Amino acid sequence: MTSNVSLSNKKVGLALGCGAVAGAAWSVPILAELQRQLAWDARSADVLIGTSVGAVLAALLSAGVSIDVMEGSLGSKSQSSGCDWNHDTSWGTWHPPLPKLQFSGLPLLRKGLRGEVPPLTAICGVLPQGQFDMTPFRQLINTHVPEGQWSPHDNCWIMAVDNDSGERVGFGRPDAPDASLVDAVCASYGVPAWCPPVAIGGRTYLDGGITSPVSADLLADSDLDVVVVVAPMSSRTIESNPSLFARIERVARRYMTRIVDREVELLQRAGKQVIRLEPSTEVLQAIGYNMMDPGRRHRVFQSATKVAPVTVQKALHEAGIVIDNNDTQI
């Protein structure tokens, strides 16, 4: 069923998923195009959920940084003009620094063997602790939200995983431990074997993406009308690739896609209108097999910008939304 709608009186949630450097380079131009087609400002979302690099974007949006500013930054060659970020250095390199000889979260493996946490969560627990320097991420967030404080947005949820219990924690939710925004974002971006776990309130946390790429299911019981799911690690059109590393990436992507499928279905059963955005085949070719590779950032950004109009139109069509150019806004 399609409808020609004005969404100005709708409550909207925005779930921004994991995907590292490539995920940011894809997500921002896609969101920019969604804004243009719906005459909408992503900062106005009633709920913002961010996972891993999506947590960085959600935090910036919640602090008032516009998608236009982020788009200008990601489209630049090196030093961004609107964000405290240097694309030549802040992302690191295509490979992680030498990790510690210490597990990220060994209890996660034991829970995985008992079927208490998902397989990916368990596997990540036995990966070594990363030692990537998160200082650029901290400086970026602290530029917009004073250190030690939380987001000014009423409902900004930053997803991480407790590396002892394996439970998802949405920092910013009423049931979550108190945290500063910068600590929550760094915890959410705590990619196992790459970035260090982050201690908050006496417990340590890892990348929220090891349990769910977007955590959109948390919105099923909300009073939202529309949920925008931006999932860089999900794709329903995945081509085979003979490369060993590409095959590994495709296995992970299919695993993530199944999770997003379930979460979208849950939202739809709850009566939400879901706008599901994910990379096309063309963008996947630009991404390659290493989402962490900053050398592909500009290539991914250009590819995403090129296909964004079609990607967004397709997502809106699937959501049953017909654009009225004279009166369509969120």
Choose among 96, 94, 164, 106: nearest CA to 130.
Answer: 96
The answer to whether residue 180 sits within a structural domain is: no
Choose among 98, 69, 96, 97: nearest CA to 85.
Answer: 69
The answer to whether residue 330 sits within a structural domain is: no
The answer to whether residue 314 sits within a structural domain is: yes
The answer to whether residue 167 sits within a structural domain is: no
Strand stretches in the chain, DSSP E: 3-4, 12-16, 47-51, 156-162, 168-171, 198-200, 203-207, 226-230, 273-277, 321-322
The answer to whether residue 303 sits within a structural domain is: yes
Cα within 13 Å of Cα(302), Cβ side:
9
Residues labelled catalytic: 52, 207
C-alpha R_g of the chain? 18
Q: What is the pLDDT along the chain (330 residues), one digit of tens a residue?
A: 444 455 678 999 999 999 999 999 999 999 999 999 999 999 999 999 999 999 999 999 999 999 999 999 887 755 555 667 777 788 888 888 888 888 888 899 999 999 999 999 999 999 999 999 999 999 999 999 999 999 999 999 999 999 999 999 999 999 999 999 999 999 999 999 999 999 999 999 999 999 999 999 999 999 999 999 999 999 998 777 768 888 888 899 999 999 999 999 999 999 999 999 999 999 999 999 999 999 999 999 999 999 999 999 999 999 998 876 555 544
The answer to whether residue 110 sits within a structural domain is: no
> What range defines the domain where residue 70 resides?
12-91+130-161+212-319
Please count the structural domains in the chain.
Answer: 1
pTM: 0.93
Residue 122 corresponds to which tokens in the numbers above? Answer: 């368990």
Exposure of 103 by Cβ count < 10 A (0-12 exposed, 13-18 middle, 19+ buried)?
A: middle
Give me the phi and psi of 274, to 5 degrees please: -110, 125
The answer to whether residue 265 sits within a structural domain is: yes
